[in-house]
Structure 1
Amino acid sequence: MRGFLLAVLSCFAGHVATAQLLTTQPLFPVDTSTVTITVDCSKGNQGLFGYSSTGDVYVHVGVITSQSTGPSNWRYVLFTWGTTNPAAHATYLGNNRYQYTISNIRSFFSVPAGEQILRIAILFRNGSGSLKQANSDGSDMFVPVYDGSLATRFLQPPFQPTYNPIPEPIHKTAGDSLPVIYAASKPANLSLYFNGTKIDSVTGQDSEVTTLHLTTAGAQQLIARASDGTTTRADTLSFYVSSATTIANPPSGTKDGINYLPGDTSVILLLYAPHKNKIVVVGDFNNWTQQTAYQMNETPDSNYFWLRIDHLQPATEYAYQYVIDDSITIADYNTEKVLDKAVDPGIPASTYPGLRAFPANAAGNLASVMRTAQPQYSWKVTSFQRPAPASLRIYELLVRDFTSAGTYQALIDTLAYLQRLGVNAIELMPVANFEGASSWGYNPNFYFAPDKVYGPANTLKALIDSCHGRGMAVIMDMVLNHSFGSSPMVQMYWDRINNIPAANSPWFSPYYTHDFDVGYQFNNVSPATAAFRERVIAYWLTNYHIDGYRFDLATGFTKINSCNATGGACNDALWNAYDTTRINIWNTLYAAQQAASPGSYCILEMFSANNERAVYGAGGMMVWNNMSYNYQQSTMGYNTGWDLSGATSAATGIAQAGMVNYQESHDEERLQYKNEQYGNSGASYNIKDTATGLHRDELAAAFWAMIPGPKMLWEFGELGYDYSINWCTSGNVDPSGGCRLSPKPARWDYLADARRKHLHDVYASLFRLNDSFPSLASSGQAQYSLSGVFRTLRVSGNGLSVVVVGNFDVGSQTGQVTFPLSGQWYNYLGTDSILATGSAQSISLNAGEYRVYTSKNLHDTASGAPVTPIPGGAGIRVDPNPATGSGSVIRYSLPVAADVAISVYSMMGNRLGAVDLGRMPAGSYTLTPAQLPVNFNTLAPGIYVLRLDYGQQHVHSSFLVVR
């Protein structure tokens, strides 16, 4: 064994440079040193590897001092990113190596005396800043600055220049050797200990060189010590030496992901990872160290790795990760719970009680979780009958923004509002785990784990269960077109040189194949992609009892590449054209979905040609039908693009039951914001006026709600929400869209505004009309004139015909209307009526005025309110309320056939009376005064509770008795 002087070490600096990402001369610079920093771009993230513009590389450089708050707090930064200051120019050395010299570190950065310099922070970049050379994880690089006392470091094996240096991956198996170079800043006594045994020492030297002979597999530890008589230093290098991978099949029936075994003390992990050589599991169960007992078996086909882990404590959460080929450490993409080091500390305990901390010894920011004997959710509604697809009234919402708390529980507490409004389905914007703490959810990284920022998994299940108990289906927005960079699936196969998914990725395309992609696009040609998608689809239907999906960017599911070879110069017309490959993909996915949950909804964000969309509508699927621009133009009073005919089958060729029509969505500007900012106006009629704009929203809603087929309402649209989609939390509106994804306020106080409450009540009344006569919404025969100033819509169903008329101009208009039947027709939303002749007759309407006429009088003569069922399926109420005596009745509705009982309780919980009505079919009913469970005339003034029991479920409401 030999010791070398630093001068001798510098002679083979070229050898060291090729082995490390950053090297410095001198090895141990102090704050007054002139230091030369050399980068090897074949290492780290390889951001500048093969960069052809060799004269176009610059440094971004600063220092970390005693005044810095952390590794991101660079101080005394001299150059602006993306500029080409000659003083920042790096010298090209050839062979992907660049060099930069700093003369006298303290003077170069103008660091005041007394402020200690701890590190130089540095990145190498191209002139524009579009490419940067950094550590393998993309983090900043750092060069320690020493204080002149004894300092030490390993030169071999090399360390990455992270803020706290970490070893570069060591790929060794039993029988290999490993060269070691340990250096000191001044002559000292140096010793090396390998796995607890002293293997070498030198006296009065500034370096020590040896070779380790790795005879056994498993965890290895090399400790180096140095002492100069005054100061003692020690450095530790821990690494893993693998054994030969065992080739074996897992036990029969083992599925992808975590397999919990009987007894609650064992699991089998199964990971799909073709093209990998070695995977080791680290976690709480092995102190986060690689051990031979946790090296996974490989299946004979080389596609899967698996491992049985025993001796787990039941009902205990264990965090774990995979170390793959000694190169990357990732969480399990199959996990049902993700720990996020960056996000979790900000989740309140009230949102997620008992959330464990991110493990201190885990790598990176993401760790997966396993837990045997998990608490099971006990489903209360086990036989929910989904509304017919054609009758869907979907309420799209973002959990983050719909309530001030932004949680699953807060949404549960708000469901009564949605039930009263009359929606029969809610569509949750993506809740599968996404990047960051605040998001729309279209940047997913894990597909089997609900995001914790909204609450625990069982609370999500309780939300779905509660919706079912109120007669509402739950549709999940699912993102299976792309994933984002923190996804383990992306990271497992990554081309660091080109900064794209690797060509051998089983799931992702290296380049975009259409112009509307974000993140990293799933490869639609790959069988692995198809299998993964089917797993995800079945998982939420089976485990969370959701009722279907709205699939984001469904148009992207194609095998046709409409871009050039590197994802640019895309042909949007080709992407939108009729595509049999896309049809085949969706037919296959839809069949898999129906196999997992027959009758579940499949809604596609599909904006291809109508003849292709018609295929999906005819095959049982539904397509989003974006009518936002047309409705915006209509409510604003502009006749360009305001034709609403595109909401009908006659205009599109798509089955009426296969189109989900909407005025607003998460992606579109809000109607009332458009009205107030850009509304048309005449001499005495100004749509920018809030009250006028809200009335225009009613006008649009009357046509939207009565056109047959499924329809969708964006959150708070029923209240005329007038915050721009581009509203910023500062209160400004960013027209460039920079704040589009920012949180928006939940304005429940709008309910106290009589003008907005009236719009809400119009929506609720129209929904109740559809409930009362289901054939209107599902199979009504429609005739219409929806393109002019004066518009008409005629819909006929079993038992009722409806005629909607409206004036979309900013001045009075007269139009010709032919009612389907002669006789008296009644304004459903008012108290007037009209005598229909059966022939064309003139109707005059003021600007923005509308009528919804019905062929039957649906009004309660006592209250003047529409006589229709309580919204939202099951419901019960006293009518009129307050109850004044013998004139009050009980109205109730059933979404399904059930055994029915009605009870009246005091506010103290005492049951005052009940009536058992036996089994009754789905429908709407009225109990006359003689049938009531208690005589209202005998009740003292006060508040009482009315309860409807149907089957194993119940709903209740309160009423007031006055005298």
Structure 2
Amino acid sequence: MKKIIYLLLLVTAFNTSCKKSSTEGGTETPAQPSVDLPAGAKDGVAFINNGTSAIVTLYAPGKNSVSLIGEFNDWSATASVMKKTADGNTWWVQVDNLNPNTEYAYQFFIDGKLKVTDPYSEKVLDPDNDKYISATVYPNLKAYPAGKTTGIVSVMQANQPVYTWKNAGFSRPEKNNLVIYELLVRDFTTDHSYASTLTKLDYLLSLGINAIELMPVNEFEGNLSWGYNPSFYFAADKYYGTKTALQNFIDECHGKGIAVILDLVLNHSFGQSPMVQMYFDNSKPTSNSPWFNVDAKHPYNVGYDFNHESAATKKFSKDVMKFWMQQYKIDGFRFDLSKGFTQKTSTDDAGMSAYDASRIAIWKEYNGYIKSIDPNNFYVILEHFADATEEKVLADDGMMLWNNVNYNMNEATMGWLGNSNFQWGFYANHGFSKSENLVTYGESHDEERLNFKNFTYGNAAGTYSIKGNLATSLKREEMAAAFLFAIPGPKMIWQFGELGYDISIDFNGRTGEKPIKWEYFTDTGRKALFDAYAKFIRLKKNNSIFNAASSSYNLAGGIKYIKLIEGSNTVIVVGNFDVANQTANIDFGASGPWFDAVGSNINLSSNAYTATLAPGEYHIFSKSVLK
């Protein structure tokens, strides 16, 4: 998540919004005597007495007074004055006479001037953005308490709707066999909801994927976002639906054998975050913030930079992880900008990427914590892109690393061969001991779409042209996919890449809404690409040779090949990425019959395979018939 251009444009607006919506004049309530937390209290809200009472807690070191205001006390700053613990860090109060079936809006009123939401809220109401959420997506959404307060408010309810899970026996796919489908709910269906996305599961099943990676779905600023501007970490974003709708989506995925991975953003937060607002000096966090650095430690930061060496940040981060694992039965996290979890100041990528022992220690601690909650093949995936020696240490600890081959693979699909070597997809080049730790992809949310560049900038020779020729550009995508899925290890594809989506990432602004092109599936050429993806995924999942330890390749020139060996079987994927005929000369290692999974079988009189391949022509040969 290196570039979020729209966030940079909105930082000033967010700062202004933060000041306008959360700072109020008022009378500071008197400081209360120190009182220990009562039994059963926790960060946020803990209901007791069958839901007729609630203990509400806020971690706010250094504050002079805090009151709980809300619909249960007519927003009075004096009715529910909070007590302070002996260490001065935590404030709490018990509220009685609640109706367990009622949703109550509430806020914290700090030092007589600042109103903030509860950082542990599982639901918030936004006076500016909720009005754009349809009743179809979020039925019976509670009305904002207009005229009673300002800014975003928290919601608490004792007897919330409880989802009954049906698929408790789900077994997660092995890491090596993962085929992940990265998905942005907003741009996947016109209804942009968990329910409408659920109707597409059979489509995804026919493609063969076995994991969905949801781009961030916790509450973020605004509605039309990629989600990398988070503000509330325990609340599912209402623009996509209710909490139970998300739980049902995950449950149904499990019922169909699909794991669900959540994209989690803990490098930074934004101006609507109460944790930012509580320690803020009009332009940046203050030096006494328990969670944030005053200034970002690295050049890729947007919003406000978490300090992951702070005990408060570590506790909060672990609470977030545990919540999603337990409340939503998530199967894995993809951690955004994990390289940013550093306190070493850098001004460029080289400095930021250098081996950082303190960052390694942070990630080992988080990974160990996750394992302590769920040791059963839970996926911890990092968007790291740091020095290979650091990534190897993290991989050896069981974490998985994003691996971007977009540029080189796209050069290959466009027919520009000078920088078309995508051998970085092989785990051994990273120094890893296992292929399962490297998640390789040709497209992600953050990269230009392969087929857009094919169609716009592709090479040509004679009558063969990639540029401007949809049929040719789609066949180039097909050939690249054959190679991608032949590389051992887990794979990821970006939504609609299997249909050759060819609208630029910069359409309507980089993070702006994109056209949803389900009509692609009825186009003969695009459907052929989908079918090819489905075949390659099936071959990967059904034949262990595609995760073979023994592999060799030559991906430097026009003729590229990958050779995999497992026992008596050998698979060789060969293709011509040039725009003119080229002759392949490859040692297959054995003569006799070879089966072609995408074409005609051959019979070699020697170990040598010599053939002239047309541009875009490829084959998947094997000594034994592939399943």
TM-score interval w.r.t. the shorter chain? over 0.9
Aligned pair partner of 1:581 in 358, 365, 370: 358
Aligned pair partner of 2:459 in 659, 680, 702: 680
Q: Specify the alignment match of 1:113 in structure 2.
A: none
SS state of the match for residue 633, structure 1?
helix
TM-score of the aligned structures, taking structure 2 as reference length? 0.95
Alpha-carbon distance in structure 1 between the residues aligned to 2:184 and 2:567: 36
Q: Does 1:664 align with 2:443?
A: yes
CA drift of 1:261 comes to 1.9
Q: Does 1:793 align with 2:562?
A: yes
**Per the alignment, do residues 793 and 260 of structure 1 end up closer, same or farther by CA in structure 2, a change over 3 Å counting?**
same
Alpha-carbon distance in structure 2 between the residues aligned to 1:798 and 1:546: 37
**Per the alignment, do residues 620 and 433 of structure 1 end up closer, same or farther by CA in structure 2, a change over 3 Å counting?**
same
Mapping 1:191-590, distance limit 5 Å = 242-292=29-79, 294-496=80-282, 499-562=283-346, 570-590=347-367
CA drift of 1:778 comes to 3.6
**Per the alignment, do residues 270 and 841 of structure 1 end up closer, same or farther by CA in structure 2, a change over 3 Å counting?**
same
Mapping 1:24-103, distance limit 5 Å = none
Q: Specify the alignment match of 1:952 in structure 2.
A: none
Aligned pair partner of 2:26 in 169, 178, 190: 169
CA drift of 1:505 comes to 0.3
Q: Does 1:816 align with 2:596?
A: no
Mapping 1:730-809, distance limit 5 Å = 739-773=509-543, 775-797=544-566, 800-809=569-578
Alpha-carbon distance in structure 2 between the residues aligned to 1:136 and 1:685: 55
Aligned-CA RMSD value: 1.9
CA drift of 1:789 comes to 1.1
CA drift of 1:360 comes to 1.5
Deviations 1:79-101 (CA, angstroms, capped at 9, x unpaired): xxxxxxxxxxxxxxxxxxxxxxx
Q: Specify the alignment match of 2:611 in structure 1.
A: 843
Q: Does 1:653 align with 2:431?
A: yes
CA drift of 1:796 comes to 2.9
CA drift of 1:746 comes to 1.3
Q: Specify the alignment match of 2:481 in structure 1.
A: 701
Alpha-carbon distance in structure 2 between the residues aligned to 1:311 and 1:383: 40
Q: Does 1:592 align with 2:592?
A: no
Q: Specify the alignment match of 1:884 in structure 2.
A: none
Alpha-carbon distance in structure 2 between the residues aligned to 1:578 and 1:295: 48
Mapping 1:886-901, distance limit 5 Å = none
CA drift of 1:639 comes to 1.5
SS state of the match for residue 501, structure 1?
coil
Deviations 1:167-218 (CA, angstroms, capped at 9, x unpaired): 73333xxxxxxxxxxxxxxxxxxxxxxxxxxxxxxxxxxxxxxxxxxxxxxx
Contact 1:391-1:777 at 8 Å conserved across structures: no
Q: Does 1:852 align with 2:611?
A: no
Aligned residue identity for 2:335: F
**Per the alignment, do residues 694 and 505 of structure 1 end up closer, same or farther by CA in structure 2, a change over 3 Å counting?**
same
SS state of the match for residue 321, structure 1?
strand
Aligned residue identity for 1:641: N
Deviations 1:739-798 (CA, angstroms, capped at 9, x unpaired): 01111111111111110000000000011112222x234445221111111011112346
Aligned residue identity for 2:496: F
**Per the alignment, do residues 338 and 138 of structure 1 end up closer, same or farther by CA in structure 2, a change over 3 Å counting?**
closer
Tell me the matched-pair count.
613
Q: Does 1:631 align with 2:415?
A: no
Alpha-carbon distance in structure 1 between the residues aligned to 2:560 and 2:225: 40
Mapping 1:4-19, distance limit 5 Å = none
Alpha-carbon distance in structure 1 between the residues aligned to 2:106 and 2:625: 66
Alpha-carbon distance in structure 2 between the residues aligned to 1:139 and 1:539: 31
Q: Which blocks of at least 5 consecutive residues in structure 2 are unaligned? A: 1-10
SS state of the match for residue 843, structure 1?
strand
Contact 1:270-1:307 at 8 Å conserved across structures: yes
Alpha-carbon distance in structure 2 between the residues aligned to 1:710 and 1:799: 24
Contact 2:545-2:566 at 8 Å conserved across structures: yes
Of all paired residues, the percent bearing the same amino acid is 45
CA drift of 1:277 comes to 1.4
Alpha-carbon distance in structure 1 between the residues aligned to 2:12 and 2:364: 41
Aligned pair partner of 2:601 in 833, 838, 847: 833
Contact 1:825-1:856 at 8 Å conserved across structures: yes
Contact 1:616-1:658 at 8 Å conserved across structures: no
Mapping 1:935-946, distance limit 5 Å = none
SS state of the match for residue 852, structure 1?
strand
Name the structure where strand makes up a greater proportion of residues.
1
**Per the alignment, do residues 618 and 838 of structure 1 end up closer, same or farther by CA in structure 2, a change over 3 Å counting?**
farther
Alpha-carbon distance in structure 1 between the residues aligned to 2:253 and 2:16: 48
SS state of the match for residue 660, structure 1?
strand
Indicate the structure (1 or 2) with the bigger Cα radius of gyration: 1
Aligned residue identity for 1:658: N
Alpha-carbon distance in structure 2 between the residues aligned to 1:682 and 1:779: 37
Alpha-carbon distance in structure 2 between the residues aligned to 1:357 and 1:821: 72
CA drift of 1:375 comes to 1.6
CA drift of 1:844 comes to 1.6
CA drift of 1:838 comes to 5.4
Aligned pair partner of 1:720 in 481, 500, 504: 500
CA drift of 1:243 comes to 3.9
**Per the alignment, do residues 656 and 137 of structure 1 end up closer, same or farther by CA in structure 2, a change over 3 Å counting?**
closer
Aligned residue identity for 2:341: F
Aligned residue identity for 2:391: R
CA drift of 1:389 comes to 1.0
SS state of the match for residue 508, structure 1?
coil
Contact 1:542-1:597 at 8 Å conserved across structures: no
Contact 2:24-2:114 at 8 Å conserved across structures: no
Aligned residue identity for 1:687: I
Deviations 1:499-553 (CA, angstroms, capped at 9, x unpaired): 1101100000010111000000001221111111111111101110000100000
Q: Which blocks of at least 5 consecutive residues in structure 1 are unaligned? A: 1-129, 141-161, 172-241, 563-569, 729-738, 859-867, 869-963
Deviations 1:421-472 (CA, angstroms, capped at 9, x unpaired): 0000000000010000110000000000000000000000001001101111
Aligned residue identity for 1:704: L
CA drift of 1:139 comes to 5.0
SS state of the match for residue 315, structure 2?
helix
Q: Specify the alignment match of 1:909 in structure 2.
A: none
Deviation larger for 268-277 or 848-857: 848-857
Contact 2:405-2:440 at 8 Å conserved across structures: yes
Name the structure where helix makes up a greater proportion of residues.
2
Deviations 1:929-955 (CA, angstroms, capped at 9, x unpaired): xxxxxxxxxxxxxxxxxxxxxxxxxxx
Deviations 1:114-154 (CA, angstroms, capped at 9, x unpaired): xxxxxxxxxxxxxxxx999x9996559xxxxxxxxxxxxxx
**Per the alignment, do residues 347 and 699 of structure 1 end up closer, same or farther by CA in structure 2, a change over 3 Å counting?**
same
Alpha-carbon distance in structure 2 between the residues aligned to 1:641 and 1:725: 22
Aligned residue identity for 1:504: N
Alpha-carbon distance in structure 2 between the residues aligned to 1:512 and 1:407: 34
CA drift of 1:262 comes to 4.2
Q: Specify the alignment match of 1:922 in structure 2.
A: none
